[in-house]
Amino acid sequence: MGLDDQQLDFYGPDFRPAARAGQCVLLQRGRALSKLYQVAYTEPVGPLGQGGLLPIWAQAVAGGAAIDKYQTDANAATGTIGKGTSKTCKPQALNLGPNELLQFRWLVRVVGALSSGWVVDDLDVGVQSPPSSSRFGLAQANPSVAMRNAIQQLPDPNDQNLAAISGTNMALVASANTADPFEGSIAARTTLFVFGENASPQFTLYNRNTTTDMAAATMAVCLEIQGFRFELVDAVVGADWVPRSVYGTIYKLPPTQDPLLLPIIPIEPVPATS
C-alpha cells in the first residue's frame, strides 16, 4: 500500500485504527515530517465522559462541574451564547501524554431544556487544530473552517431528540437509525489526529439562530468521542533497513514497508536523517 493509499484508508468509511503495533509512523504537516516512530501498542478509546458524553459548553455551569449527570470538561466554556455569536473550548480531555497519539471521530450532542425558539440544528461546530489552523475547510470560504451540524451526522437514535437527562432514556423514533454513526463517509469527515501534550484541538460553537440566544440554564453542548490511542516510541533501526526518501527527507526504513504518514499538528522539528 502506497503513502497516498494509506491516507485514503484512514479517511475512509470504516472506522479502525490507522496503525498497528510495530508499524513505522511519521507525523506530517504538509511536507514537513517528524522523526521516525514505531507503534508500541494501540487500544480503543471512548466514548469519553460520564454517560458517554463530554460537555464542552454549559450555560450556567463552570468547567469541571456537573450538568445533570454529565461532568463538564475542565476547560468547558460557560455563559450565554448570543444569537450570531460563538464560544470556544480546548478540551482538557484531549491533552495527551508526551508520546501518545489519538485518532478519533466526534459527534455533536445537546443536553437539557432548550431556549424557546432555539433548536439543535441552529448549532454549528467548527474545529481548529491548532487554534490558529481551521480544519476541513477552505482558506477562501467564509468561514474558512468547515461547520459540523447535527443534520450532517447519522442519528443516534435521532438528533431531534435530546440526550437523556438523569432518570430518563433517550427517546426512539418510529424508524430509528440502526447504522453506527461513527462509521461511513459522513463520520469520516470528522477524523482528527492529536499528538502529545498541550495539543488539544479547539472547538468553536456558533449560534446560527438569528433571534434567539442559547441561554437556558440547563443547556449543554457535548461531544461524543470514540477512537484509538497509540503509544509511540522512537524507531529502532533494523540491520536490514535501507535509506529511503520521503518527501525529500532520508530515513532508514524497512525495505518492504512504507511508513504511515499521519496529518498531525504540532510536530517535532524535522531531522536530517533517521
Write out pLDDT tens, residues 186-210.
787 888 888 888 888 899 999 999 9
Rounded to whole angstroms, the Cα distance separating 113 from 176 reads 22
Identify the pLDDT of residue 5. 47
β-strands 24-29, 37-45: how paired? Answer: antiparallel
Identify the pLDDT of residue 158. 45
Burial of 259 (0-12, 13-18, 19+ CB in 10 A): buried
Neighbours of 100 (CB within 10 A): 16
- φ, ψ of residue 169 to 5 degrees: the values are -105, 155
Task: Give every CB contact of residue 87 below 8 A, 6+ residues apart in sequence.
Answer: 57, 77, 79, 81, 204, 205
- Tally DSSP H helices, then E strands, for the chain: 2, 16
> How many Cα atoms occupy the beta-carbon half-sphere of 186 within 13 Å?
13
pTM flag (> 0.75): yes
Identify the pLDDT of residue 270. 47
Identify the pLDDT of residue 186. 77
Q: Which residue has the cell 469520516?
A: 188
What is the distance, to the nearest Å, from the Cα of residue 170 to the centroid of all Cα atoms in its chain? Answer: 24
Residues of the chain with pLDDT under 50: 1-5, 157-159, 269-274
CA–CA–CA angle 152, 155, 161 (5° rounding): 110
Rounded to whole angstroms, the Cα distance separating 266 from 157 reads 36
What tens digit of pLDDT does each residue of 30-50 get? 667 889 999 999 999 978 988
- Beta-bridged to residue 252, according to DSSP, are 243
